Amino acid sequence: MSIAPPRFESVEIPEAATRSEDYLWTLNFGPQHPATHTTLRLVLKLEGERVVDALPEMGYLHSGFEKIGEHLTYNQYVTVTDRMNYISPMANNVAWHHAVETLLGIELTPRCKVIRTIIAELARISDHLLCNGAVGLDTGAFTFFLYAFYQREVIYDIFETLCGARFTNSYTRVGGLSQDMTPLVIEKIRSFVKTFPKTIDDMERLLTRNRIFVDRTKGVGVLSTEEAISRGATGPVARASGVTRDLRRDEPYLAYADYDFQICCAAAGDCYARYLVRMQEMRESLKIVAQAVENLPEGPINVGIDQRTALPTKQQVYSTIEGTISHFELSMSNRGFEVPCEESYAAIEAPNGELGFYLAGDGNETAYRARCRPPSVLHYALFPHLIRGHTLSDVVAVLGSLNIIAAELDR
């Protein structure tokens, strides 16, 4: 089958140019441009300053993560998920091992569930900080961006204390975690819970009623509820368009059913609504973190030795025969997990939307197929629909409000 040449979805030629397309000109935006943040490419059809149509291109960062997923073990692949949405790697770790544990049928320990909830929510806060900060930056609010980025640094610091890595954490393991949460981490999270509301108040005072920002974002890139569902939008993008879908409430995983929090929605569906939803979600996430960190259950973080997935503790290895056997078997290449010849899909509410993995097991310690369902792909596909009729300067506002991460987009 031959490959058809690229074509625009619907170029409506403006009336002034009905005789010829002379007034339309094509502008290439990206793949290297400060406002694309990563390697995205847009081909824009412009009439003067007005965008008539846009053709998004992707694949500049394609690194075959799904192919690699068929060759790395369930524990090794977590390092690759870090590099998908590198803005919130912890959420990706949690999503990957949530999917693996669904396939294997593992029930986590209560402490592990709560710790994973905490880190997933901290990851959400740091993702929303960057996204909203970048929207501010792209529309000219540089100070706002610095406020946001300073708090990201605090979250990095918490993660570093937790697992030794700031950026690519690879924190989760099948059936558990790589490290337990120490009192120092808990102390740092507590102080973050105390100090963060002040920053978020400052941020809202800076931008939410800022005339320039509101004019740049309100009514720009409007996505209706029907379009949001039909085009597969999830997460804050869908919730800003009035879709009340949040997997934390609708399919409670980890420990979310135990906490009191609100689902943030807006009806307008424009860039400003997406900004507001993200702002409010940070407050709700902070509520979850505060509740979780004060009610952290005692007990082990890994599932028991009998499950044969998480490494036993050194104490168990040295003093019990089951621990020794389990440790050896998990380290040997032809032993280890018992994976059913089955397939399952599991998703979490990642900061960007529904992040799921469709896994096919074939009895081996590597997945037969590890499909990642990235929210960014469907959000990037929305772009031409959102930008039609707006001006060139709105391109960055719309792009920023969709929070497209090229590494997750291209995988």
Partner 1 sequence: MPSTPPPVDDVLAALAEQFGDLPSSVFRGQTRVVVPESSSHEVLSLLKERGFDLLVDISCVDYLDYREPPMEMAACAGHRYGLVYLLASTVTNQRLTIRVFVDDPEPTVQSVVSLWKAANWLEREVWDLFGICFAGHPDLRRLVMPEEFTAHPLRKDYPLQGRGERHNFPVITRHES
CA distances from 380 to 233, 308, 401 (A): 10, 40, 11
Please tell me whether residue 342 adopts helix, strand or coil conformation.
Answer: coil
Between 72 and 317, name the residue whose CB sits nearer to partner 1. 72
Rounded distance, CA 358 to CA 248, Å? 19
Residue 406's φ and ψ, nearest 5 degrees, are -65, -35
Between 130 and 370, name the residue whose CB sits nearer to partner 1. 370
Between 147 and 358, name the residue whose CB sits nearer to partner 1. 358
Nearest distance from C-beta of residue 217 to partner 1, angstroms = 24
Nearest distance from C-beta of residue 179 to partner 1, angstroms = 28
Dihedral angle of Cα 61, 63, 67, 69, to the nearest 10 degrees: -100
Cβ atoms of residues 57 and 43 within 8 Å: yes
Nearest distance from C-beta of residue 56 to partner 1, angstroms = 9
Residue 19's φ and ψ, nearest 5 degrees, are -70, -35
Tokens of 88: 């919130």
Nearest distance from C-beta of residue 272 to partner 1, angstroms = 23
Residue carrying structure tokens 């044969």? 308
| Among 278, 372, 362, 283, CA closest to 68 | 372
Nearest distance from C-beta of residue 159 to partner 1, angstroms = 28
Nearest distance from C-beta of residue 404 to partner 1, angstroms = 12
Between 98 and 390, name the residue whose CB sits nearer to partner 1. 98
Between 270 and 354, name the residue whose CB sits nearer to partner 1. 354
Nearest distance from C-beta of residue 271 to partner 1, angstroms = 20
Between 59 and 197, name the residue whose CB sits nearer to partner 1. 59
Tokens of 264: 């943030």
Cβ atoms of residues 159 and 166 within 8 Å: yes
Cβ atoms of residues 39 and 31 within 8 Å: yes
Nearest distance from C-beta of residue 336 to partner 1, angstroms = 18
Burial grade of 364 (CB within 10 A; 0-12, 13-18, 19 or more) = middle
Q: Strand ranges (DSSP E) for 97-217?
A: 172-173, 176-177
Between 59 and 297, name the residue whose CB sits nearer to partner 1. 59
Between 311 and 347, name the residue whose CB sits nearer to partner 1. 347
Chain residues in the site for partner 1 (CB under 8 A): 1, 3-4, 6-7, 9, 58-59, 62, 64, 66-68, 70-71, 102-103, 105, 227, 229-232, 243-245, 249-252, 257, 340-345, 347, 354, 356, 358, 360, 362-363, 368-369, 371, 373, 377-378, 380-381, 410-411
